[in-house]
């Protein structure tokens, strides 16, 4: 089972871009799909999107216009960019690794707060 470690800025102003990165240790990077999931008190767990090793991606339609998930296979890392954030994007963000759709491994989570 892979281990995930994530990092990125935890405090943003409205209209800025949220950028998070997740490093993958152990296991086979190419066997998994890599996803981002967020959790806020008001909306529970929300799947943001995922990217497959070949580079294809799927996004939540509710966020698709603002989200990009990318891979860096040379570093066994993947990243999330969420543009034009508002207070509604305040949440704990998790990176995760999935096999056949099931999320088997989770990062530790980062609280991202959007506030002016």
Partner 1 sequence: DIQMTQSPSSVSASVGDRVTITCRASQGISSWLAWYQQKPGKAPTLLIYAASTLQSGVPSRFSGSGFGTDFTLTISSLQPEDFATYFCQQTNSFPRTFGQGTKVDIK
C-alpha to C-alpha distances, 54 to 32, 43, 45, 60, 112, nearest whole angstrom? 10, 31, 26, 19, 29
Cα 82 to chain centroid distance, Å, stands at: 9
Residue span 30-49 as binding mask against partner 1, x where in contact by CB under 8 A, dash where not:
-----x--------xxxx-x
Nearer residue to partner 1 within complex by CB, 74 or 102: 102
Stretch that binds partner 1, among 10-18, 65-73, 75-83, 97-105 (CB under 8 A): 97-105
**Contact call for residues 85 and 114 (beta carbons, < 8 A):** yes
27 part of the interface to partner 1, by CB under 8 A:
no
108 part of the interface to partner 1, by CB under 8 A:
yes
**Contact call for residues 20 and 8 (beta carbons, < 8 A):** yes
Binds partner 1 (CB under 8 A): choice among 56, 74, 102, 115: 102
Binding residues for partner 1, per CB under 8 A?
Answer: 35, 44-47, 49-50, 58-62, 94, 98, 100-104, 106-109
């Amino acid at each position: 089972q892979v281990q995930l470690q994530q990092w990125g800025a935890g405090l943003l102003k409205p209209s800025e871009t949220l950028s998070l990165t997740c490093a993958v240790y152990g296991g086979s990077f190419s066997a998994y799909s890599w996803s981002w999931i967020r959790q806020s008190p008001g909306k529970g767990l929300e799947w943001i999107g995922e990217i497959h090793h070949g580079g294809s991606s799927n996004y939540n339609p509710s966020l698709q216009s603002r989200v990009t998930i990318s891979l860096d296979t040379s570093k066994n890392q993947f990243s999330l960019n969420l543009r034009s954030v508002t207070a509604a994007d305040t949440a704990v963000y998790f990176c995760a690794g999935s096999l056949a759709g099931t999320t088997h491994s989770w990062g530790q989570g980062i609280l991202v707060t959007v506030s002016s």
